[in-house]
Amino acid sequence: MARVELRLFAAAREAAGRAHDQLDGDDLDAVLERACERYGDQFRAVLARARVWVNGDEPVVGRALRDGDEVAVLPPVSGG
């Protein structure tokens, strides 16, 4: 099981109450599910609209994570 760095931005950071965390998981789905369990329904709702990147790139479906990988949750940003 990999230990990854989770980076949270904008509404994801607000929902989680923190900007970063470390979570364990074999793949991206497992890490994101652990984040939802830890941070609750408000985070889950933000995640449903967010883009997720692994090490600065769009993730490849089914790709295993490795220790030290960075998972970033980037919700849409509204401007005005």
Query: How do the pLDDT tens digits run along the chain, 80 residues long?
Result: 999 999 999 999 999 999 999 999 999 999 999 999 999 999 999 999 999 999 999 998 878 999 999 999 999 876 55
Q: Two tokens at 72? A: 């970033």
Residues in the chain: 80
How buried is residue 39: exposed, middle or buried, by Cβ count under 10 Å (0-12/13-18/19+)? Answer: buried
For the stretch 11-23, what's the b/e string if a residue is b when 16 or more beta carbons lie within 10 angstroms of its beta carbon? bbbebbeeeebeb
**CATH domain 2-74 topology:** Ubiquitin-like (UB roll) (3.10.20)
Give the global pTM.
Answer: 0.92
